[in-house]
Amino acid sequence: MDDIIKNAHGDALHYDFLSGSDDALSGWIVVLGHGVTGNKDRPIIAGTAAALNAAGFNTLAFSFAGNGDSAGDFREATISKEVGDLRTILDAVSTNYDKIAYVGHSMGGAVGVLQAARDPRIKALISLAGMVDTKAFAQTEFGTETPDEGLMWEEDNCPLSSAFMHDLCETIVSVAPQAEAVTAPWLLLHGTADDVVLPRDTEQIASLKGSTVKTVFIEGADHSFNDPIHKKQVTETVVAWLNELAKN
- Is 45 within the bounds of a domain? yes
Q: How many structural domains is the chain composed of? A: 1
- Is 37 within the bounds of a domain? yes
Global pTM value? 0.97
Angle value at C-alpha 143, between 138 and 148, nearest 5 degrees? 90
What is the C-alpha radius of gyration for the chain, rounded to an integer number of angstroms? 17
- pLDDT of 227 > 90? The answer is yes
- Is 81 within the bounds of a domain? yes
- pLDDT of 155 > 90? The answer is yes
Q: Which of 54, 197, 227, 207 is nearest to 128 (CA)?
A: 197
Confidence of residue 166 (pLDDT cuts 50, 70, 90): very high
- Is 167 within the bounds of a domain? no
**Residue 8 phi, psi dihedral angles, 5° rounding:** -65, -20
- Is 140 within the bounds of a domain? no
Report pLDDT for 194.
98
- pLDDT of 1 > 80? The answer is no
- What is the percent of the chain where pLDDT is above 90? 98
Residue 15 near residue 40, CB atoms below 8 Å: yes
- Is 165 within the bounds of a domain? no
Residue 52 near residue 242, CB atoms below 8 Å: yes
CATH code for the domain of 65:
3.40.50.1820
Confidence of residue 89 (pLDDT cuts 50, 70, 90): very high
**Over the chain, what is the mean pLDDT?**
97
Report pLDDT for 93.
97
- Is 217 within the bounds of a domain? yes
User: Which residues span the domain enclosing 68?
Assistant: 5-135+176-246
Report pLDDT for 203.
98
- pLDDT of 165 > 90? The answer is yes
Confidence of residue 22 (pLDDT cuts 50, 70, 90): very high
- pLDDT of 198 > 80? The answer is yes
Report pLDDT for 215.
98
- pLDDT of 228 > 90? The answer is yes
- Is 159 within the bounds of a domain? no
What does the chain look like in DSSP terms, one character per residue? --SSEE-TTSPEEPEEEE----GGGTTEEEEEE--TT--TTSHHHHHHHHHHHHTT-EEEEEPPTTSTTS-S-GGG--HHHHHHHHHHHHHHHTTT-SEEEEEEETHHHHHHHHHHTT-TTEEEEEEES----HHHHHHHHHTTS-TTTSBSTT-TT-B--HHHHHIIIIIIS-SHHHHTT--S-EEEEEETT-SSS-THHHHHHHHHHGGGEEEEEETT--TT--SHHHHHHHHHHHHHHHHHHHT-
- pLDDT of 48 > 90? The answer is yes
- pLDDT of 174 > 90? The answer is yes
Note the pLDDT tens digit of each residue in 123-153. 999 999 999 999 999 999 999 999 999 999 9
Report pLDDT for 15.
98
